Amino acid sequence: MTKGPINLAPSELAYVPFVSVDNMMRMVRAVGVETVMRGIADYIEEDFLRWESFDKIPRIPAHAPQGVIELMPTSDGKTFGFKYVNGHPGNTREGKQTVTGFGVLSDLTTGYPLLLTEMTILTALRTAANSALAAKYLAPKGSTTMAVIGNGAQSDFQCLAFKDQLGITEIRAYDVEPEASLRLARNLAGSGINVTICKTPEDAIEGAQIITTATADKKLATILTDNMVGSGVHINAVGGDCPGKTELHKDILLRSDIFVEFPEQTRIEGECQQLAEDHPVTELWQVYAGKAAGRTSEGQITLFDSVGFAIEDFAALRYIHDILPSTGHFEKLDLLADPDDPRDLYGMLLRSGANDDNQAA
Amino acid sequence: MTKGPINLAPSELAYVPFVSVDNMMRMVRAVGVETVMRGIADYIEEDFLRWESFDKIPRIPAHAPQGVIELMPTSDGKTFGFKYVNGHPGNTREGKQTVTGFGVLSDLTTGYPLLLTEMTILTALRTAANSALAAKYLAPKGSTTMAVIGNGAQSDFQCLAFKDQLGITEIRAYDVEPEASLRLARNLAGSGINVTICKTPEDAIEGAQIITTATADKKLATILTDNMVGSGVHINAVGGDCPGKTELHKDILLRSDIFVEFPEQTRIEGECQQLAEDHPVTELWQVYAGKAAGRTSEGQITLFDSVGFAIEDFAALRYIHDILPSTGHFEKLDLLADPDDPRDLYGMLLRSGANDDNQAA
């Protein structure tokens, strides 16, 4: 023990890197939004390839009449991650967001957090990255045109990820509110994507090899009817992601080969909630691992029934953590108490007071 | 929509108050450690009195060979809270803490976090506050002397809370490492408590109306044997708090009236793990609510089998949140994305880039 002045600055061990919304935006701009989504897709694929090494814990929800807060933890036995996410449809009335989130990645061998980060933007990035990853295995080879039905917050990220990772150059955009499609087209100007704004969903899917549905209505909707969907397409169904919210007519599901993240969750939250409990679905990790077939014929309709799974958040947290040192866009949070003597927590409190006295003197 | 310069500063809605370790220490010193623990005890009592309005969710653990990370959520239907806590006995080898923690309190009606705070110090405060609260109902009236067996990080807080809330003036301290008792005595010098350092546990309990056990060994230990415990005392058993860790000989339990927080948890984690699954225990909230008896006779041995429960953390988070405005010891974290138009998350990213260009120009 030194007898000199007491060192009261927290040690490096006490700091947790924190990525604020502002720093997340700086980081994404510095690295490039498409590069970030490609990186996240690679990390998701890597983690799906070791699917069986993960604890797959159900989401832990807390409910109020206005909405839900969920904790989504997962772990591979060495690293632990969780996301906090809320869903409150009425929030927009008071100028708040419907969905916000943050996440933590921790070293499970020490219990110490490695990263605290905003996850509203990060979830948007990982959702699109995850869609593009699935489409690389399922969409027709040489796809160049994607219909995007529902032009809200997720649509920009979907278009950019599909451009970068699948070579999509033509977007056919439809939204019940034309202003949303205009917004999307404005944001994508200069991105290398041609956006055609369409007056009807039927118009939007004309000539598209990939159909992305990303509508926001929380209800059992029918964005696509059976007669609209021709053979050979890949459907990327992003919007239906909770009980009571679907986008596709059941008959489309019956004609499609359905691919899912985690069947136990998708059967409750996804388009699959319309089907019998034992309706056959294929787990994506098995496709990535070569244990199950993806697209097997030109005429096949493939459907990714996307709901969002904890391992995707885990992969996104890992990616952000790994690029932190090179981007430098983070702050250090003094989150963990780190007394010189772990048995003397109260002494740390007392000594910190002595320091204030010194400063005052 | 304004056409002037874009306002890029996050709105107030995007900020979450954050209490760092340093600010927690400042706050505790400013308010006074005993006052803080009295405040937390009041909040715990308040929350225990509305016990049935809480979701009592089991802890969600993630395990590694080296230790465990647990999420402890709870909610009263309007407010949501959770604590992140780890337990890694080997951490001290690399200069890290065995147990660290942080917590979040949220408005469940909007899903927005109201507070992010360190919880290593806060957990120590709430544990002692909770012990004092139980003892107010269970300890012999007019108690002045407390034996404290195990003089580690929790012991200082126990002594100060019992002094303030029960009028304890004499502490009889014992630890297998005499240095720990000396540390405790040093820290309590000037607090208005006399500390007598004892050579044996038998010596420590001499004349004590309250016996606090707060040892740290993670094993089935026998800190107190049956013949040591006379009639009429209150035992505040703090140390046994996980499977495989106990402090008291089973025969003491069989002679005591046992009071617990949440029986489902205590029977797994507390001293009660030594007893039959249906051994009678009394829930503390029922004592506080007048639905069950606390101490009923002078000769009775009362035992609080403390393990720590999520509602106590919730109450501690509520207390800290409520005193934030008057103490001012917090920072604002830019944790929640808050785009002007919730449907235009990518636009927010784009516009923030335009701002950098402006600054560069």
Q: Are residues B114 and B248 in the same domain?
A: no
A8 band by pLDDT with thresholds 50, 70 and 90: very low
* Residue of chain A whose Cα is closest to the Cα of B79: A64
Residue B37 CA to its chain's centroid (Å): 10
Q: B26 pLDDT exceeds 90?
A: yes
What's the CATH number where A44 sits? 3.30.1780.10
Q: Chain A contacts of B356, Cβ < 8 Å?
A: 26, 29
The chain-wide mean pLDDT, for chain B, equals: 91
Residue A361 inside a domain? The answer is no
Q: Are B319 and B40 in contact (CB under 8 A)?
A: yes
Q: Is A213 found in the same domain as A107?
A: no
Of A18-27, A94-103, B204-213, B309-318, the one with minimum mean pLDDT is: A94-103
In B48-187, DSSP assigns E strands to 55-56, 60-64, 67-75, 79-87, 101-107, 113-118, 145-149, 170-174
Which tens digits make up the pLDDT trace of B57-87?
A: 778 999 999 999 999 999 999 999 999 999 9
**Residues of chain B contacting A342 with CB distance shorter than 8 Å:** 92, 97-98, 153
Q: What is the pLDDT of residues A312-325, one digit of tens each?
A: 999 999 999 999 99
* Cβ contact B153–A343 (<8 Å): yes
- For B:69-98, CB contacts with A below 8 A are 69, 71, 73, 75, 77-78, 80, 82, 84, 86-88, 91-92, 94-98
A137/A294 Cα distance (integer angstroms)? 6
Contact A238, A158 (CB under 8 A): yes
pLDDT above 60: residue B10: no
Contact across the interface for B29 and A352, Cβ inside 8 Å? yes
CATH number at residue A273: 3.40.50.720
Confidence of residue A96 (pLDDT cuts 50, 70, 90): confident
DSSP string, B292-343: S-S---TTPPEEEE----HHHHHHHHHHHHHHHHHH---EEEE-S---SSTT
Contacts of B193 (CB under 8 A, 6+ apart): B159, B160, B163, B168, B169, B170, B171
Q: How confident is the model at residue A356 (pLDDT cuts 50, 70, 90)?
A: low
pLDDT category at A199 given cuts 50, 70, 90 is very high
Q: Searching chain A, which residue's CA lies closest to the CA of residue B352?
A: A25
Contacts of B262 (CB under 8 A, 6+ apart): B56, B283, B309
**CA-based radius of gyration for chain B:** 23
- A349 touching B (Cβ < 8 Å): yes
| Angstrom distance (rounded) from CA A172 to CA B81 | 44
Q: Using alpha carbons, select from A331, A325, A340, A324 the residue that is nearest to residue A11.
A: A340
Among residues A341, A4, A15, which one has the least CA distance to residue B151? A341
Exposed / middle / buried, residue B199 (Cβ in 10 Å: 0-12, 13-18, 19+):
exposed
How, if at all, do strands B101-107 and B79-87 pair? Answer: antiparallel
Q: Which residues neighbour B127 within 8 Å (Cβ) at sequence distance 6 or greater?
A: B154, B157, B238, B306, B308, B312
The residue with greater pLDDT, A220 or A4, is: A220
Q: Tokens standing for B255?
A: 């002679």
Establish if B2 belongs to a structural domain. Answer: no
Of B63, B71, B333, the CB nearest to A82: B71
| A109/B71 CB distance under 8 A | no
Q: How far apart are CA B262 and CA B256, in angstroms?
A: 18
Q: Tell me the average pLDDT across A52-80.
A: 92
Tokens matching residue A178 = 């034309």
Query: Per DSSP, which regions of B157-289 are E strands?
Result: 170-174, 194-197, 210-213, 220-224, 234-237, 246-248, 257-260, 282-283
How close does chain B come to A231, measured CA to CA in Å?
32
Interface check for B118 against chain A (CB to CB < 8 A): the answer is yes
- Same domain as B192, residue B80: no
Mean of the per-residue pLDDT values for chain A?
91
- What DSSP state is assigned to residue A6? -
Query: Is residue A168 included in any domain, yes or no?
Result: yes
Total domains in the fold of chain B: 2
Q: How many Å is the maximal CA-CA distance in chain B?
A: 82
The reply to whether A292 and A152 lie within a common domain is: yes
Q: Give the count of beta carbons closer than 10 Å to the beta carbon of residue A166.
A: 22
| Co-location of A115 and A131 in the same domain | no
Q: What pLDDT was estimated at residue A294? A: 96
Q: Which long-range contacts (CB under 8 A, 24 or more apart) does B58-65 make?
A: B58/B264, B58/B265, B59/B265, B59/B310, B60/A57, B60/A60, B60/A71, B60/A73, B62/A55, B62/A57, B62/A73, B62/A75, B62/A80, B62/A108, B63/A77, B63/A108, B64/A75, B64/A77, B64/A78, B64/A108, B64/A109
Residue B322: Cβ within 10 Å count: 12
Question: For residue A281, what are the contacts with CB-CB under 8 A and spacing of at least 6?
Answer: A258, A259, A260, A263, A266, A267, A272, A305
Are the beta carbons of B16 and B335 closer than 8 angstroms?
A: yes
Instruction: Examine the domain organization and report whether A158 and A263 are in the same domain.
Output: yes
For position A117, what pLDDT does the model report? 98
Asked whether B43 and B314 are in contact (CB, 8 A), the reply is: no
A31 close contact with B: CB closer than 8 A: no
Q: Is B41 part of any domain?
A: yes
Largest Cα separation within chain A, whole Å, is: 82
Q: Which of B212, B195, B192, B214 is nearest to B34 (CA)?
A: B192
Residue A332 lies in a domain: yes
Q: Is the same domain home to B202 and B273? A: yes
Round to whole Å and give the CA distance between A117 and A126: 14
**Per-residue model confidence as pLDDT tens digits over A332-343:** 999 988 888 888
Do the Cβ atoms of B102 and A157 come within 8 Å? no
Are residues A217 and A136 both part of a single domain?
A: yes
In a domain, B353, yes or no: no
Nearest partner of B339 among B349, B331, B329, judged by Cα: B349
DSSP B140: P
Judgement on whether residues B67 and B177 belong to the same structural domain of the protein: no
| Residue contact B21–A337, C-beta within 8 A | yes
* CA dist list (Å): A71 to A104, A173, A239, A351: 11, 34, 20, 37
Model confidence pLDDT, tens digit, residues A262-302:
999 899 889 999 999 999 999 999 999 999 999 999 999 99
Question: How does residue B95 score in pLDDT terms, banded at 50, 70 and 90?
Answer: confident
Local structure of residue A130 (DSSP, 8 states): H
**Per-residue pLDDT at B353:** 75
Best mutation site among B26, B345, B348, B351 for testing chain A: the one with the most A CBs within 10 Å?
B345
Rounded CA separation B353/A356 (Å)? 41
Please report the pLDDT score of residue A75 as a whole number. 96
- Domain limits for position A246: 127-309
Amino acid B9: pLDDT: 53
Q: How many CB atoms lie within 10 A of CB A298?
A: 9
Same domain, A136 and A103: no
- Give a yes or no: residue A328 inside a domain: yes
Residue B57 pLDDT:
79
| 3 state DSSP class of A204 | helix
Query: Nearest CA to CA, how far is A340 from chain B (Å)?
Result: 9
* A111-151 pLDDT, tens digit each: 999 999 999 999 999 999 999 999 999 999 999 999 999 99
User: What percent of chain B stands above pLDDT 70?
Assistant: 93
Coil, strand or helix at B83: strand
Classify residue A359: in a domain, yes or no: no
- Please report, to the nearest 10 degrees, the dihedral formed by the alpha carbons of residues B62, B64, B69, B71 taken in order: 10
The DSSP element (H or E) to which A332 belongs, if any, is: strand A331-334
pLDDT at A237 over 80: yes
Cβ pair A136, A113 in contact under 8 A: no
- Closest Cα in chain A to B78: A64
Tell me: do A62 and A205 sit in the same domain: no
Q: Provide the residue type at B41 as one letter.
A: A
Confidence category of residue B337, pLDDT binned at 50, 70, 90:
confident
Average pLDDT of the segment spanning A216-239:
85
Contact A237, A260 (CB under 8 A): no
ipTM (interface predicted TM): 0.89
Cα gap A319→A37, rounded to integer Å: 10
- CB of B70 within 8 A of CB of B61? yes
Q: What tokens appear for B110 in the block?
A: 């909007």
Q: Is the pLDDT of residue B2 over 90?
A: no
User: Is B97–A336 a contact, with Cβ atoms under 8 angstroms apart?
Assistant: yes
A325 touches chain B (CB under 8 A): no
Average pLDDT over residues A33-53: 98
Q: Which of B164, B175, B241, B313 is catalytic?
A: B241
Q: A139, A51, A59: which is closest to A315 by C-alpha?
A: A51
Minimal CA–CA distance to B260: which of B251, B271, B249? B271
Confidence of residue B5 (pLDDT cuts 50, 70, 90): very low
Contact A148, B346 (CB under 8 A): no
Question: In this structure, are A244 and A323 located in the same domain?
Answer: no
Q: Are B83 and B99 in contact (CB under 8 A)?
A: no
Whether pLDDT at B283 is above 60: yes
Identify the residue among A100, A126, A163, A183 best suited for mutation to test binding to B, counting B beta carbons within 10 A and taking the highest: A100
B221 has a pLDDT exceeding 70: yes
| Whether A212 contacts A145, CB under 8 Å | no
- Nearest-Cα residue of chain A relative to residue B99: A111
CA distances from residue B144 to A110, A209, B164, B172 in whole angstroms, order as listed: 41, 81, 11, 11
Q: B42: pLDDT confidence band, cut at 50, 70 and 90?
A: very high
Last residue of a domain, one of A290, A309, A328: A309
Average pLDDT over residues B231-258: 89
